[in-house]
Structure 1
Amino acid sequence: MRSEELVEVRLAERLAELRAERGWSLEELAERTGVSRSTLSRLERGEISPTAALLNRLCAAYGRTMSRLLAEVESGPPQVVRAAEQAVWRDEESGFVRRSVSPPHAGLRGEVVEGVLRPGADISYDRPPVPGLEQHIWVLEGGLEVTADGRAHALREGDCLRFRLWGTSRFRCLGSEPVRYALLVVLP
């Protein structure tokens, strides 16, 4: 597949994702843009290429510039992210270390994160960044208590917890050793 064809395929996929992220039907998007439902459907399936005017209408509906939209589709996410290239963020005050194992990409819905909490670490969040966020937490070493939407779960090495988060959450290291876990985050 030529590079231009690949961009068109990614653009069609991204436009469908943007509509799905907002929970809009094709009919609702048609009303917002003045573009027929059938044209939007064919565009999202990659059967037609958008004109600049059509793309501008869609960008206005999605609240983004055309350059941002095209940047999201012109280059795909890297296939391999070496450990030395993974972003690490440390919160010394709370005792939390976060490694972005697979950096998020605008065209993808999931990411893998490694978390490490030192003994005594206790972190609370008042809300999820995105309501309905799906999380899978797999404890690799140590013990972790995860409270999601008011329900506490004590996890030990090898345990995995899956949930959709709508409200508050809390992560607390159990025991006298650090806890290391993998977190898979999937956008709704």
Structure 2
Amino acid sequence: MRDAELDLRLGARLAELRAARGWSLGELAERSGVSRSTLSRAERAETSPTAVVLNRLCAVYGRTMSQLLSEVEAEPVPVVRAADQRSWEDRAAGFVRRSVSPPHAGLRGELVEARLDPGADLAYDRPPVPGLEQHVWVLEGELEVTVRDVTHALGTGDCLRLRVWGATRFRCPGRRPARYLLAVVLP
């Protein structure tokens, strides 16, 4: 699916989720901490939301990012070939995420491959779903993950398991990109 098509479907889905709750853009802005203008532009697909904005919206709607993105894709399949795995990019943040698992909104676990460019720093102020279990396995490079004010310095082959209740931060301190696998399990 082309980026523009994905943005159109994602915008429409975000508008559906807000309408289903009967919220105005102002109400959603208050709940998510995202400006009304940013929400409006994302719903109209005038801009692709950043990873931080999507995380805030997922928190409000009780979904992981992969669940939200899978809702704008075609009917789930049991096998998704490497060439068909969907990627999403936040170019400004230097972040790329690829949904490895076949998308299915009804399942509790998923695998995501992520890449952070050197110096990239993603700070999430809340989890998309409180109590979300994550396993972060570094495939290449160096990655710093901060959870509850504790920073874990990870290198190639290291794995961190955590439950996300509050803010987290993913940072690539090295001179090479950090590539990691994120296993996500809903509580």
Partner of 1:41: none
1:54-69 equivalences in 2 (<5 Å): none
Partner of 2:185: 186
* Aligned residues with identical type, % of pairs: 69
What root-mean-square deviation, in Å, do the aligned CA atoms of Structure 1 and Structure 2 show?
1.6
Distance in 2, Cα, partners of 1:103 & 1:96: 21
Distance in 2, Cα, partners of 1:97 & 1:103: 18
Query: Do structure 1's residue 156 and structure 2's residue 155 form an aligned pair?
Result: yes
Query: Do structure 1's residue 105 and structure 2's residue 123 form an aligned pair?
Result: no
When the two structures are superposed, what TM-score results if normalisation uses the length of structure 2? 0.58
Asked if the contact 1:119–1:176 (Cα under 8 Å) also holds between the matched residues in 2, the reply is yes
1:1-188 equivalences in 2 (<5 Å): 77-188=76-187
SS at match of 1:174: coil
Shift of 1:156: 0.2
SS at match of 2:93: coil
When the two structures are superposed, what TM-score results if normalisation uses the length of structure 1? 0.58
Shift of 1:84: 1.4
Shift of 1:103: 4.1
Shift of 1:174: 2.0
With over 3 angstroms needed to count, the CA separation of the structure-2 counterparts of 1:118 and 1:93, relative to structure 1, is: same
SS at match of 2:98: strand
Runs of 4+ in 1 over 3 A off after TM superposition: none
Query: Deviations 1:43-86 (Å, cap 9, x if unpaired)?
Result: xxxxxxxxxxxxxxxxxxxxxxxxxxxxx9xxx94221111111
